[in-house]
């Protein structure tokens, strides 16, 4: 692995972290705390390039450590004379808290994961002398609290790095990609690659928004940031729908002259940042003037064109809302308290998809691995065998949420070996020559480079393993003492724990991304069946948010699947289909009785299709009966007076037909005449 040359920003972050670590170590030594190296290690654990993230992680680490310490004080005195029962209790504790952490996909999950593996860290080394468990629990809590306080203070006072600008840059980059996608669609230059990565990147904004609450400059903007994220999420199905309608018009050779010009004008206006109100109003007028009327509105091309224009209007309104919210988030606490008058009212409810089965299996496998490691320790009588259990629990917990934890645990173990060798170099070659705190600081100067790697996501794991493990394994005390046999024995136990966790993971979790992806797809089919078959309500409002979250989870997994499995599902098409089902249910009451009956029959058929697909765990092609039902509904909706509810139903039915039968010829009953031209006023 080749390491990069750090930037000035990374050197600054590392210098602040190093100063905080040395400050924590100095105070711990001056106060006579028993394990001052825990304070130093804690600084590197919580350090983050964003000041707000450092403060949030510090708080969560303090809470997690306190929970783990309380558990150790509770369990060790009760069960120390029953080693197997104690091991079982510790394993259940670790697995339970890990499961809770997997359910909380925010930085707050660190509280629960840390509480889970802090218990064995504190409890197991004390089983030979259980009377010390309270003192060790208190000492660890104090030393870690000292480290995180030092990290928080230094990163807050010395050139703080707020999360707000980073959030703004991420939003601007995401908008640029979305606008670029639209421009490609309208110029027929689309690369054809999946845009699901945009859904995955939206999920990444959650992390930044969570840190805004701990950012002094951005405090109070979290609600606006959530509103902004919700509206960004709406861009995906709207642009996807506009893409679909554009391709449908082109395939039917029914694209009116001037349509692309109007679309490019919209894309150009979006590129200006939506600050041009006059330009937006001109675009609205141009879109309105392009709306098909009379008999043309009842033909297939007119219906598709009307649906495309509706999506353009949605983009206009949505983009203006996004611009307003961006400005308010960037102003932070200086923003006006007045309520934003949103132009685009329909947004996704925040909802997440959880695969409880896989999450429970992941947590249970960590608990079982910890228990089996404990049995190995007990029945071998290994003096330093606590390290085997601790490192099994820690390594497995860190990577329980990934599809292929074995790869990560292998890397974790390799770098644990490297950190052990570096610690041996410090302990037996460098520290014997150190006779003052100033010399100790000089000895740790290589940590400055290691700290720069913490700021780069691709190197964060390696850097943290080196910094935290070297600081912990060296075991700095007020007076120098080192015994090679004790050092080797305890560290061999830790390394054995890494390999034990790796072997157990290879045996119990060989399925990787394929199983998770298939379960995500099947969950989407179940949701579609429920939306088509059930009554309207909160489930409808949460459906889109859950589908988008699922698409974000599926995005990084699809490239890892074989070709036939990768074609199982089109998440954006299924999202559009579901939104159209919800829209039909919304406007159903304003339709004629005859059309309502046909729509009810159509939705029941859609529900049966996806119920069967979910039950058989395979994609099913919609049949000719379903196609005829869609076309019949379209024909009757086209014949009804074009009121608002009927027009919305027409757009939804066009969307359903395109989502289910994109490769089919247009409905014969709505046969087209040659495409018309429409004149639109230039800006």
pLDDT value for 375:
95
For 200, other C-beta atoms within 10 Å of its C-beta total: 15
Q: Percent of the chain having pLDDT more than 90?
A: 45
Average pLDDT over residues 91-96: 96
Residue 447 in contact with residue 21, Cβ under 8 Å? yes
Length of the chain measured in residues: 683
pLDDT value for 168:
86
pLDDT value for 679:
40
Q: How far apart are CA 371 and CA 393, in angstroms?
A: 9
Q: Please state, rounded to an integer, the average pLDDT across all residues of the chain.
A: 86
Angle of helix 133-157 versus helix 8-30 axis, rounded to 10: 140
For 112, other C-beta atoms within 10 Å of its C-beta total: 21
Average pLDDT over residues 447-468: 89
Q: How far apart are CA 310 and CA 242, in angstroms?
A: 9
pLDDT at 2 over 70: no
Q: How far apart are CA 287 and CA 271, in angstroms?
A: 18
> What's the pTM value of the predicted model, to 2 decimals?
0.87
pLDDT at 337 over 60: no
Residue 246 in contact with residue 664, Cβ under 8 Å? no
pLDDT value for 485:
85
pLDDT at 4 over 90: no
Q: In this structure, what is the dihedral angle of CA atoms 196, 198, 203, 206, given to the nearest 10 degrees?
A: -170
pLDDT value for 193:
52
Average pLDDT over residues 639-657: 88
Q: How far apart are CA 436 and CA 438, in angstroms?
A: 5
pLDDT value for 381:
87
pLDDT value for 277:
82
Average pLDDT over residues 324-333: 77
Specify the residue for token string 């923003």: 335
For 243, other C-beta atoms within 10 Å of its C-beta total: 20
pLDDT at 566 over 70: no
What distance lies between CA 629 and its chain's CA centroid?
39
Average pLDDT over residues 663-674: 73
pLDDT at 479 over 70: no
Per-residue pLDDT of 587-621, as tens digits, reads: 888 889 999 999 999 999 999 999 999 999 888 88
b/e 64-78 (16+ beta carbons within 10 angstroms → b): bbbbbbbbbbbbbee
pLDDT at 677 over 80: no
Per-residue pLDDT of 387-421, as tens digits, reads: 999 999 999 999 998 888 999 999 999 999 999 99
Q: In this structure, what is the dihedral angle of CA atoms 365, 366, 369, 371, given to the nearest 10 degrees?
A: -110
Residue 300 in contact with residue 255, Cβ under 8 Å? no
Specify the residue for token string 């109007």: 262
pLDDT value for 564:
58
pLDDT at 683 over 60: no
pLDDT at 680 over 60: no
Q: How far apart are CA 63 and CA 109, in angstroms?
A: 11
Per-residue pLDDT of 619-634, as tens digits, reads: 888 999 999 999 999 9
Range in 45-59, 279-293, 663-677 the model is least confident about: 663-677
DSSP class of residue 592 equals -
Paired with 257 in beta bridges are 677
pLDDT at 376 over 70: yes
Residue 561 in contact with residue 513, Cβ under 8 Å? yes
Quickly list DSSP for 449-487: HHHHHHTSHHHHHHHHHHHHHHHHHHT--SS----HHHH
Q: How far apart are CA 159 and CA 578, in angstroms?
A: 48
- Strongest mean pLDDT among 473-482, 634-643, 663-672: 634-643
Residue 466 in contact with residue 364, Cβ under 8 Å? no
Q: How far apart are CA 498 and CA 493, in angstroms?
A: 9
Q: How far apart are CA 661 and CA 322, in angstroms?
A: 33
With vertex at residue 114, the alpha carbon angle to CA 365 and CA 520, rounded to the nearest 5 degrees, is 50
Average pLDDT over residues 130-156: 92
Q: Percent of the chain having pLDDT more than 70?
A: 90
Residue 103 in contact with residue 354, Cβ under 8 Å? yes
Residue 605 in contact with residue 524, Cβ under 8 Å? no
Collapse the DSSP code of 257 into the 3-class scheme (helix H, G, I; strand E, B; otherwise coil) and give the result: strand
pLDDT value for 230:
87
Range in 16-20, 211-215, 424-428, 570-574 the model is least confident about: 211-215
Instruction: Give the closest residue to 531 by CA, choosing from 584, 587, 589.
Output: 584
Instruction: Give the closest residue to 572 by CA, choosing from 304, 176, 206, 239.
Output: 239
What distance lies between CA 662 and its chain's CA centroid?
31
pLDDT at 565 over 60: no
Angle of helix 484-508 versus helix 356-380 axis, rounded to 10: 140
Q: How far apart are CA 606 and CA 622, in angstroms?
A: 8
pLDDT value for 178:
87
pLDDT value for 24:
95
Per-residue pLDDT of 492-546, as tens digits, reads: 999 999 999 999 999 988 777 888 888 888 999 999 999 898 756 666 678 888 8
For 254, other C-beta atoms within 10 Å of its C-beta total: 21
């Amino acid at each position: 692995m080749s390491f990069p040359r750090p930037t000035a920003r990374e050197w600054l972050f590392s210098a602040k972290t190093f100063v905080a670590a040395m400050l924590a170590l100095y105070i711990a030594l001056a106060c006579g705390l028993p394990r001052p190296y825990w304070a130093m290690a804690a600084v590197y654990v919580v350090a983050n390039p964003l000041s707000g993230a450092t403060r949030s992680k510090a708080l969560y680490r303090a809470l997690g450590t306190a929970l783990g310490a309380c558990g150790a004080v509770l369990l060790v005195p009760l069960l120390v004379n029953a080693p197997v029962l104690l091991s079982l209790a510790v394993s259940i504790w670790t697995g339970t808290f890990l499961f809770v952490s997997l359910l909380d996909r925010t930085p707050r999950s660190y509280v629960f994961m840390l509480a889970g593996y802090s218990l064995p860290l504190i409890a197991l080394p004390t089983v030979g002398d259980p009377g010390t468990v309270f003192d060790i629990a208190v000492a660890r809590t104090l030393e870690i609290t000292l480290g995180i306080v030092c990290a928080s203070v230094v990163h807050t006072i010395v050139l703080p790095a707020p999360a707000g600008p980073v959030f703004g840059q991420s939003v601007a980059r995401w908008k640029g990609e979305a606008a670029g996608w639209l421009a490609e669609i309208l110029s027929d230059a689309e690369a054809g690659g999946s845009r699901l990565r945009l859904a995955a990147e939206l999920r990444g904004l959650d992390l930044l928004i969570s840190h805004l609450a701990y950012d002094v400059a951005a405090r109070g903007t979290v609600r606006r940031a959530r509103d902004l994220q919700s509206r960004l999420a709406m861009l995906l199905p709207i642009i996807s729908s506009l893409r679909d309608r554009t391709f449908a018009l082109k395939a039917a050779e029914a694209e009116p002259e001037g349509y692309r010009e109007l679309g490019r004008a919209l894309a150009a206006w979006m590129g200006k940042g939506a600050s041009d109100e006059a330009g937006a109003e001109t675009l609205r007028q141009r879109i309105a003037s392009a709306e098909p009327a009379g008999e043309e509105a009842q033909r297939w091309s007119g219906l598709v064109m009307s649906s495309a224009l509706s999506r353009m209007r949605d983009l206009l309104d949505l983009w203006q809302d996004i611009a307003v919210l961006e400005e308010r988030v960037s102003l932070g606490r200086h923003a006006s308290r007045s309520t934003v008058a949103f132009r685009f009212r329909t947004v996704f409810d925040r909802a997440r998809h959880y695969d409880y089965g896989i999450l429970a299996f992941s947590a249970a496998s960590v608990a079982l691995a910890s228990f089996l490691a404990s049995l190995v320790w007990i029945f071998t009588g290994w003096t330093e065998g606590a390290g085997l259990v601790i490192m099994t629990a820690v390594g497995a917990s860190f990577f329980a949420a990934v599809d292929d934890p074995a790869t990560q645990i292998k890397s974790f173990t390799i770098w644990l070996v490297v950190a052990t060798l570096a610690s041996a170099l410090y302990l037996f070659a460098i520290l014997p020559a150190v006779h003052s705190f100033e010399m100790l600081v000089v000895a740790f100067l290589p940590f400055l480079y290691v700290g720069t790697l913490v700021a780069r996501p691709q190197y964060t794991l390696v850097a943290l393993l080196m910094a935290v493990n070297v600081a912990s394994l060296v075991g700095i005390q007020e007076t120098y003492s080192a015994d090679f046999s004790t050092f080797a024995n305890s560290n061999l136990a830790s390394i054995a724990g890494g390999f034990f966790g790796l072997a157990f993971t290879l045996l119990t979790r060989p399925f990787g991304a394929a199983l998770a992806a298939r379960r995500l797809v099947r969950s989407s089919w179940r949701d579609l069946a429920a939306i088509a078959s059930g009554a309207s309500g909160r489930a409808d409002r949460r459906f889109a948010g859950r589908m988008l979250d699922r698409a974000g989870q599926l995005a990084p997994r699809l490239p890892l699947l074989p070709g036939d499995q990768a074609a199982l599902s089109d998440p954006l098409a299924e999202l559009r289909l579901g939104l159209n089902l919800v829209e039909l249910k919304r406007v159903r009451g304003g339709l004629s009785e005859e059309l309502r009956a046909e729509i009810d029959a159509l939705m029941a058929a859609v529900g049966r299709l996806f119920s069967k697909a979910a039950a058989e765990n395979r994609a099913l092609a919609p049949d000719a009966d379903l196609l005829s039902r869609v076309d019949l509904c379209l024909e009757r909706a086209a014949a009804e007076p074009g009121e608002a509810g009927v027009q919305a139903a027409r757009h939804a039915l066009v969307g359903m037909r395109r989502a289910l039968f994109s490769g089919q010829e247009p409905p014969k009953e709505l046969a087209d005449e040659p495409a018309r031209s429409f004149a639109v006023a230039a800006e």
